Structure 1
Amino acid sequence: MSPTVTYNLFAFIYGAVIGSFLNVCICRLPENRSVVSPPSSCPHCGYRIRWYDNIPLVSYALLGGKCRSCRVSISFRYPLVELVTALLTLMLFIRFGPTLTFLALFILCAALVVITFIDIDHQIIPDVISLPGIVIGFAFSFFLPWLGWKDSLIGVLAGGGSLLVVAYGYQMLTGKEGMGGGDVKLLAMMGAFLGWRSILFIVFAASLVGSIIGVGLMLVRGRDSKLPIPFGPFLALGSILYIFYGSRIIDWYLGLSRLGG
């Protein structure tokens, strides 16, 4: 096995292990419970999960997606989070290698995975992730030449400020709250890690995908559907698209604009 394949395999396994921990965060943070103790257990029968039943991806497959003790089905979300985190880690490692950029963006992506699933389940974005994330992203900017602390600081202000203006504007026009403060802090965190240039792309991509899915749900469930659609997952998707494909998409769009002009 070549060194490149070995390193990539290690990155995938490492991501899956971190994904297992992120599952704990997703379950416990909304309930203000410690993510360190007590050890993981079955939510149905309380069976304490042994290490051999907690191997990322593998244990779920070997157990047939069921608890060893009570045989109640385990949510497919657990291996899904592990797989998504493993793939993101692998993609980041292939793209950036063992660099400080990889570490910074790995932390951002891990935070986005947790935020996405918590927002889907509870329609909240925990401050315990986004607020420290702003500080961590800004701290990294002093050591990342492609970012810089000024770009990061403007990203925080532009990210949080832009959504804050939209939220207040929507509320004044409709009298309803259309966007929570969690989304504002989330975009500020993204701006801290990715800089102010990322904000317009992230908001546009999130709005486009969110609109498509929202219209699709209305068609399926009917016009009177009042199902809340959290915006956090779409912002997270927009951020990940920017990391991996942002420059290509922007260049493609600018190329079309020149042709059209």
Structure 2
Amino acid sequence: MPDLPFALWIALAAVLGLLVGSFLNVVILRLPERMAAAWRHEARDVLKIEGDAEPMPPGIVREPSHCPHCKHPLSALDNIPLFGWLLLRGRCRYCQTKISIQYPLVELLSGILSAVIVWKFGPSWAALAGLGFTWVLIAAAGIDFRTQLLPDQLTLPLLWLGLLLSLLPMFVSAPSAILAAAIGYLSLWSVYWGFKLLTGKEGMGYGDFKLLAALGAWMGPVALLPIVLLSSLIGALVGGSLIALRKHEREIPMPFGPFIAAAGWVWFVAGPDLLDGYLHLTGMR
């Protein structure tokens, strides 16, 4: 790595995070549409439905950014992460339709979390891996929040990358990563089927199992219980607040993936410190 001041590394990570955050918005919005269209195409083939199939939605990489409402291509100025939204005052330059607050929030979140990763790990290969880990979690959480889907296209590569990094090892050893991935998946799988047998309802999706398995592959079995407890606490606080503010109906299911992702990222960055603080607080150390 080039020899640069540490503060400059953090600033560069923040700028890179803003740029990647702009791309993550594209992933969050377009990947579910591409997946749904692909499923319909496959269904037509299986059912042998005649006639022209629907055109595929815009791709994630090649198609340029455009206004979701009027479809007008966006200029380079409009595409500046965070500042483009501020300059436009949250409205499309061409049709004056409101631009979702999601765009600047995802970019800002990506920038801040990227800076924290480099602050935590320094200019290292671990930081580079941590940036990829962070960006995938942001995209997965955003998609699950919007659609209640956790795509295999994100959770499975995250799982496999964690397992491969354990061969170095970078964060945990290979035996720990493999064991944690299995425990993470099977624990939520057991909760899912227990809840379904008791109530006849599905309490979570299979994507949640895969996401927790991926987090286990990156952080080992010690992290699993704190992640589950922390995600449940965050989910209860957020869900209770939204219900109290009447912004979410009790009967409408709330995706659990964003809370798992948030808890997993927090533990990835500060897990040992949180555990040490808890042990000191309870007098166990």
Q: CA deviation at 1:219?
A: 3.9
Q: CA deviation at 1:189?
A: 1.1
Q: CA deviation at 1:221?
A: 3.8
Structure 2: gaps (5+ residues): 35-56
Mapping of residues 202-213 of structure 1, within 5 Å: 202-213=227-238
- TM-score, normalised by the number of residues in structure 2: 0.85
Counterpart code for 1:68: R
In 1, Cα distance between the equivalents of 2:228 and 2:29? Answer: 27
Counterpart code for 2:281: L
In 2, Cα distance between the equivalents of 1:223 and 1:92? Answer: 33
Could you tell me which residue of structure 1 aligns to residue 33 of structure 2? 31
Counterpart code for 1:257: T
Relative to structure 1, is the Cα distance of residues 89 and 52 closer, same or farther in structure 2, using a 3 angstrom cutoff?
same
In 2, Cα distance between the equivalents of 1:6 and 1:138? Answer: 31
State which of 172, 175, 190 in structure 2 corresponds to 1:147: 172
Q: CA deviation at 1:85?
A: 0.3
Q: CA deviation at 1:43?
A: 0.9
Mapping of residues 37-56 of structure 1, within 5 Å: 37-56=62-81
Stretch of structure 1 that moved more, 14-23 or 190-199: 190-199
Counterpart code for 1:12: A
Please say if residues 147 and 195 of structure 1, whose CA atoms lie closer than 8 Å, have aligned partners that are also in contact.
Answer: yes
- TM-score, normalised by the number of residues in structure 1: 0.92
State which of 189, 197, 214 in structure 2 corresponds to 1:164: 189
In 2, Cα distance between the equivalents of 1:113 and 1:74? Answer: 20
Q: CA deviation at 1:255?
A: 2.3
Q: Percent identity?
A: 38
Q: CA deviation at 1:233?
A: 0.9
State which of 261, 265, 283 in structure 2 corresponds to 1:236: 261
More helix by share: 1
Relative to structure 1, is the Cα distance of residues 67 and 182 closer, same or farther in structure 2, using a 3 angstrom cutoff?
same
Mapping of residues 79-94 of structure 1, within 5 Å: 79-94=104-119
In 2, Cα distance between the equivalents of 1:62 and 1:180? Answer: 39
Could you tell me which residue of structure 1 aligns to residue 121 of structure 2? 96
Could you tell me which residue of structure 1 aligns to residue 22 of structure 2? 20
Relative to structure 1, is the Cα distance of residues 20 and 252 closer, same or farther in structure 2, using a 3 angstrom cutoff?
same
In 1, Cα distance between the equivalents of 2:31 and 2:223? Answer: 28
